[in-house]
């Protein structure tokens, strides 16, 4: 089963599951959820994001539109 299908089924299940089951599922993944949230509190991560934002805003870095990115991906897939 594809990951998206599994995610959809879990989402649907959790929406209707009783409180005890929801808490049990959360307990199984709580540590991983906290790890994902904590990277936003990582000072090095935030420093890197702010540096990249500054480069973008100053025009010192070349960027691409979403359409350009998709076109490049299509071209690299063909080649």
Give 20-50 pLDDT, tens digit per residue. Answer: 999 999 999 998 887 776 667 778 888 999 9
Share of the chain above pLDDT 90, in %: 59
C-beta of residue 14 within 8 angstroms of C-beta of residue 25: yes
Spell out the alpha helix ranges (H) of 3-78: 3-16, 19-38, 43-58, 66-78
Average the pLDDT over 4-29 and give the result. 93
pTM score of the predicted model: 0.42
Average the pLDDT over 53-64 and give the result. 92
| Every domain of the chain and the residues it spans | 3-78
C-beta of residue 43 within 8 angstroms of C-beta of residue 37: no
CA pair distance 76, 79, nearest whole angstrom: 5
Average pLDDT, the chain: 88
């Amino acid at each position: 089963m594809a990951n998206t299908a599994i995610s959809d089924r879990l989402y649907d299940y959790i929406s209707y599951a009783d409180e005890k089951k929801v808490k049990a599922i959360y307990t199984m993944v709580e540590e991983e959820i906290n790890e994902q949230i904590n990277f936003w509190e990582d000072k090095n991560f935030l420093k890197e994001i702010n540096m990249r934002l500054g480069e973008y805003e100053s025009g010192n870095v070349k960027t691409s539109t979403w359409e350009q990115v998709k076109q490049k991906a299509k071209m690299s897939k063909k080649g």
